[in-house]
Amino acid sequence: MKNVSKQLCIVLLLLAVSAAGALAQGLYWESTVSGEKMEGTDVVKSWYMPKMMKIQTGSNGDFSILRLDQEKLIMVKPEEKTYSVMTFAEMEQGMKQANAQLEKAMEQMKDMPAEQREMMEKMLGKSVGKKEGKAVAKKLGDTKKVGGFACTRYKILRGTEEIAEIWITKEIRGFDAMRNDLKAFSKRMTAMNPVMGGDLANAMESLDGFPMESGMMGIKTVVTKIEPKATSLSEFEVPSGYKKVEMKHMGESQE
Question: Could you tell me the pTM of the whole model?
Answer: 0.74
Is pLDDT of 198 > 70?
no
Is pLDDT of 23 > 60?
no
What pLDDT does 123 receive?
A: 57
Q: How does residue 159 score in pLDDT terms, banded at 50, 70 and 90?
A: confident
What pLDDT does 74 receive?
A: 94
Beta bridge partners of 29: 46, 226
Is pLDDT of 192 > 60?
no
Beta bridge partners of 72: 67, 87
Average pLDDT in the 55-71 region?
88
Average pLDDT in the 93-113 region?
74
* Listed range (22-36, 51-65, 107-121) with the worst mean pLDDT: 107-121
Q: Per-residue DSSP letters for 17-58?
A: HHTT---TT-EEEEEEEEETTSSSEEEEEEEEETTEEEEE-S
Average pLDDT in the 157-184 region?
79
- Residue 219 burial (10 A CB sphere; 0-12, 13-18, 19+): buried
Query: What is the four-CA torsion angle of 115, 119, 124, 126, rounded to 10 degrees?
Result: 40
What pLDDT does 97 receive?
A: 75
Percent of the chain topping pLDDT 70: 72
Average pLDDT in the 43-60 region?
88
Q: Determine the Cα–Cα distance for residues 31 and 213; give it in Å rounded to an integer.
A: 9
* Listed range (9-13, 73-77, 115-119, 205-209) with the worst mean pLDDT: 9-13
Q: Cβ of 172: how many Cβ atoms within 10 Å?
A: 20
Q: Which residue has the higher pLDDT, 196 or 251?
A: 196
Closest residue by Cα to residue 43 from 230, 185, 221, 227: 221
Side-chain-side CA neighbours of residue 18 (13 Å): 31
Average pLDDT in the 207-229 region?
89
With beta carbons less than 8 A apart as the criterion, state whether 20 and 13 touch.
no
Average pLDDT in the 189-217 region?
74
Residue 204's φ and ψ, nearest 5 degrees, are: -65, -40
Name the pairing type of β-strands 243-244 and 82-87: parallel
Name the pairing type of β-strands 41-49 and 149-158: unpaired
Q: Which domains does the chain possess?
A: 3-125+176-196+218-244 (2.50.20)
Side-chain-side CA neighbours of residue 251 (13 Å): 18
Q: Determine the Cα–Cα distance for residues 204 and 201; give it in Å rounded to an integer.
A: 5
Q: How does residue 1 score in pLDDT terms, banded at 50, 70 and 90?
A: very low
Q: Cβ of 208: how many Cβ atoms within 10 Å?
A: 15
Q: Which residue has the higher pLDDT, 214 or 13?
A: 214
With beta carbons less than 8 A apart as the criterion, state whether 119 and 95 touch.
no
Q: Determine the Cα–Cα distance for residues 152 and 140; give it in Å rounded to an integer.
A: 7
Q: How does residue 60 score in pLDDT terms, banded at 50, 70 and 90?
A: confident
Is pLDDT of 216 > 60?
yes
Is pLDDT of 9 > 70?
no
Q: Determine the Cα–Cα distance for residues 212 and 115; give it in Å rounded to an integer.
A: 39
The helix/strand/coil state of 101 is helix
Query: What is the four-CA torsion angle of 54, 39, 254, 236, rounded to 10 degrees?
Result: 10
Average pLDDT, the chain: 78
What pLDDT does 251 receive?
A: 45
Q: Cβ of 233: how many Cβ atoms within 10 Å?
A: 9
Q: Quote the DSSP letter at residue 60.
A: T
